[in-house]
Amino acid sequence: MAKFYLTTAIDYSNGDPHLGHALEKVGADVIARYRRLRSDQVHFLMGMDEHSQSVIQAAEEAGITPQAWVDRMAERFRLFWSRLECRHDDWIRTTEPRHVRAVAELLGRIRERNPDDLYLADYEGLYCTGCEEFKQEAQIRDGRCIEHPTLELLPTRERNHFFRLSRYRDHLRGLIEGGGLRIEPRSRRNEIVRLLEAGLQDVSISRSRFPWGIPFPDSPGHTVYVWFDALINYLSATGFPEPGYETLWPADLHVIGKGISRFHCTLWPAMLVSAGLAPPVAVWVHGYVQWEGTKMSKTAGTAVTLEDAITRHGPDALRYFLMREIGFENDGNFTWERFDERYTAELADGFGNLASRSLAMLERYRNGVVPEDAGAGPLDEIGRSAVGRYTAAMDRLDLKGGIEAAWSLVTAANQHIVQTEPWSLAKAGRARELDAILAALARCLYRLAVLAAPVMPTKAETLWHGLGFEGGGPTAADWNELPSPPLAGRTTSRPPVLFPKPTAPGGPA
């Protein structure tokens, strides 16, 4: 079994999670569930970034301490991720002692191995409180941060500790070109390569007028810059510096949004290399969920809340829609119209209808028992081909492509029912032909339950029980049976309707 240590970005605790957060967490959870199906030893980390400046302001407005505020937000985020079935193995918060200790240790190692990498200097520049960083000219449009056009940039001057990032340009180029740090997809890798060609600037890594943060070692009155602090969460969650942390480190995959790829693909690996530690194996950079053409944010989150999106058709349908419509590579638009269309066509009339009529015919014509059959019909051929395309797509983290491959089987199976008319065969007493079709449909549902499990874990489990299996849904052992699902003689039953039709047009299910 291969170790697979997977992380998502940790989120600022300044407001409720929105669809933009959900895209990333669901995508990473789909990858984690897929890797578990493929027998990997998955360790999936999520968590909270709790030392941002906005926390102080939010806590003040709520009339509570910053710690009480982040405690409250951490619970809210956890609740949403649990409802969205994001099954993480660990949950880290940057206010935890294990993290504070790891930050001090990493800084200590940098100072010990490469003392010249840290120095004190004055810094003057325009600061974005949304990004928590000084912005360079190329990141400013119309006097505002490109990522946060509604926030004022703050002219700021400070005497700070700096990290000599500029020194690592060639080292990072070598890592990326030599495959020691994989950045995907290709377009994002090219962005980082171009950035390195232009050169890197040193990063101010302490704050002197900002008490909410991790104390900077041997520097009274200074706290660690929130980004330098936050990136280390991936390492502190492994137990670093305690012995045994190497069983998890280096991370196999950091899943992040395109707005923070520079931190993860330049500053973070440089920090690790400076401290004598291995850089992450790979970084996957996803696009944004857009609402009416603009990035989903705290502001846009009031137009469409995560709560509304979850209750519209249930958590599994939202997971499906985010992965199928938005995908995990480029930006994509979220609209209620598209969500309702896909729900009706692909889930209720597609997958749900296939499952319910196949199991209903098995019940009506064969008392629910799957007939013996050689498994060599056309539907099995299509099924094996869909499994192959699904696997290839999921292995390269093309989650949308994986879903498309699985749903091509849904469409083919529904067509097969229309073409072969099992009800006519039953009426005509053509038992052997009917047996072959019913058995092929059962194997098709088995394959679909396994392939759908990473995206729609609850629905896959319901179908799994309908096929006569017990437990919490398909496992790695069941994945291995995909070429010839072991169903002959098994007693099936009709599960509850998987995807109920909405009661009113466009209304909630």
Binding site for Zn ion (CB under 5 A): 128, 130-131, 145, 147-148
CB 222 within 8 A of CB 161: yes
Catalytic hit among 99, 135, 148, 459: 148
Q: Which is nearer to Zn ion, 126 or 145 (CB)?
A: 145
Could you write out the three-class secondary structure of 117-143?
Answer: HEEEEEEEEEEECCCCEEECHHHEECC
Of 51, 86, 99, 131, which residue is the catalytic one? Answer: 131
| Residues contacting 282, CB < 8 A, separation 6+ | 181, 182, 183, 184, 252, 253, 254
Which of residues 99 and 135 has its CB atom nearest to Zn ion in the complex? 135
Both tokens of 464, joined, read 């799994």
Q: Which is nearer to Zn ion, 39 or 129 (CB)?
A: 129
10 Å CB burial of residue 210 (0-12, 13-18, 19+) is middle
43 is an active site residue: no
Shortest reach from residue 265's CB to Zn ion, in Å: 18
**Residue among 43, 88, 135, 145 flagged as catalytic:** 145
How near is the Cβ of 136 to Zn ion at its closest, in Å? 12
Q: Least Å distance between CB 132 and Zn ion? A: 8
Neighbours of 211 (CB within 10 A): 11
CB atoms within 10 A of CB 38: 18
For residue 398, what are the CA distances in angstroms to 34, 359, 378, 402? 12, 31, 27, 6
Catalytic annotation, pick one of 222, 254, 264, 295: 295
Of the pair 258, 416, the CB lying nearest Zn ion is at 258
Annotated active-site residue 3? The verdict is no
Closest contact distance (angstroms) between CB of 146 and Zn ion is 7
Distance of CA 80 to the CA centre of its chain: 14
Return the number of the residue (145 or 413) whose C-beta is nearest Zn ion: 145
Give, in order, the Cα–Cα distances in Å from 170 to each of 133, 178, 200, 276: 23, 12, 10, 17
The question of whether 148 is a catalytic residue gets the answer yes
Paired strand residues for 182: 282
Is 298 a residue of the active site? yes
Minimum Å gap between C-beta 240 and Zn ion is 29
- Outline where 226-314 has alpha helix (H): 226-231, 233-236, 261-262, 268-274, 306-313
Closer Cβ to Zn ion, 131 or 285, answer by number:
131
Beta carbons within 8 Å of 331's beta carbon, 6+ residues apart: 287, 288, 289, 290, 295
CA distances from 467 to 140, 242, 409, 435 (A): 56, 46, 17, 16
DSSP 36-92: HHTT-EEEEEEEEE---HHHHHHHHHHTS-HHHHHHHHHHHHHHHHHHTT---SEEE
- Marked catalytic residue, from 25, 43, 51, 128: 128
> CA-CA distances (angstroms) from residue 153 to 131, 138, 226, 294?
10, 14, 17, 20
CB of 420 to Zn ion, least distance (A): 58
Query: What is the rounded distance in angstroms from the CA atom of residue 170 to the CA atom of residue 41?
Result: 34
Q: DSSP letters of 439-452?
A: HHHHHHHHHHHHHH
Dihedral sign for Cα 61, 66, 67, 69, please: positive
Integer Cα distance of 323 and 349 in angstroms:
19
CB nearer to Zn ion: pick between 130 and 213: 130
CB of 145 to Zn ion, least distance (A): 3
Helix (H, G, I), strand (E, B) or coil at 278: coil
The token pair at 79 is 């609740």
Nearer to Zn ion, 112 or 152 (CB): 152
CA-CA distance, 497 to 99, in Å (whole number)? 46
Tell me how far, at minimum, the Cβ of 500 lies from Zn ion, in Å: 42
**Smallest distance, Å, CB 215 to Zn ion?**
26
Nearer to Zn ion, 11 or 252 (CB): 11
- Decide if 86 is catalytic: no
The two structure tokens encoding residue 236? 């502190």
Give 92-109 as a DSSP string: EETTSHHHHHHHHHHHHH
Given the residues 21, 161, 313, 465, the one annotated as active site: 21
CB of 62 to Zn ion, least distance (A): 23
Nearer to Zn ion, 55 or 107 (CB): 55
Active site residues: 18, 21, 128, 131, 145, 148, 295, 298
